[in-house]
Structure 1
Amino acid sequence: MKKLKNKGELAVVVVCAVVGFLLAAQLRSVKLNSAADATNASRLETLQNLYNEALDKQDGLEQQLAQAQHELGVYREEAAAGGGSAALVHELEQLSITAGLTDLEGPGVAVVLEDSSSANVTGDEADYLIHDSDLLSVINELRSAGAEAISLNGERILATSEIRCTGAVVTVNGRRYAAPYVIMAIGDANTLYNALTMRNGVVDILSQWGITVKVTAGELLLIPKYNGTVEYQYARTAQEPEERGE
Structure 2
Amino acid sequence: MSLLNDLFAKPLEPGYEDVAARRRAAGEDPASVGQLRFSPALILGTVALGLLLTMAALQVRATADVVSAERQSLIERIHAEDDNVSRLQETVASLESEISGLEASLLENSAAGRQLRDEVRQLQARAGSMAVTGPGVVVTVDNAENPESYEDPNDALVQDIDLQQAVNGLWAAGAEAVSINGQRITALTAIRRVDNVMKINYRPTQAPYEITAIGDSRSLPSEFGDGTGASWLRYFSLPFDVQSAESLTVPAGSTSLIYAKPGEAT
**TM-score normalised per structure 1:** 0.77
The yes-or-no answer on 1:207 pairing with 2:234 is yes
The yes-or-no answer on 1:153 pairing with 2:178 is no
Q: What do the CA deviations read for 1:166-197 (whole angstroms, capped 9, x no partner)?
A: 44442223332221111111123354323322
Distance 2:85 2:133 in 1: 31
| Counterpart residue type for residue 51 of structure 2 | L
Tell me the equivalent position of 2:248: 222
| Counterpart residue type for residue 24 of structure 1 | L
Indicate which of 134, 138, 146 corresponds to 2:166.
138
Give aligned-pair identity as a percent: 25
**TM-score normalised per structure 2:** 0.72
Indicate which of 222, 238, 241 corresponds to 2:263.
238
Which one has more relative contact order, counting CA pairs under 8 Å at least 6 apart? 1
| Counterpart residue type for residue 250 of structure 2 | P
Distance 1:136 1:151 in 2: 12
Asked if the contact 2:181–2:210 (Cα under 8 Å) also holds between the matched residues in 1, the reply is: yes
Tell me the equivalent position of 2:23: none
Q: What do the CA deviations read for 1:88-139 (whole angstroms, capped 9, x no partner)?
A: 1220220221233433222322211122214644311112121111111000
Distance 1:46 1:209, change over 3 A: closer
Tell me the equivalent position of 1:125: 153
Asked if the contact 2:214–2:250 (Cα under 8 Å) also holds between the matched residues in 1, the reply is: no
The yes-or-no answer on 1:194 pairing with 2:222 is yes
Distance 1:46 1:129 in 2: 25
Q: How many residues align?
A: 237
Distance 1:64 1:120, change over 3 A: closer
Indicate which of 84, 92, 114 corresponds to 1:64.
92
Larger Rg: 2
Q: What do the CA deviations read for 1:2-22 (whole angstroms, capped 9, x no partner)?
A: 887x96742765544333212
The yes-or-no answer on 1:26 pairing with 2:54 is yes
User: What is the root-mean-square deviation of aligned Cα atoms in Å?
Assistant: 3.4
Gaps of 5+ in 1: 242-246
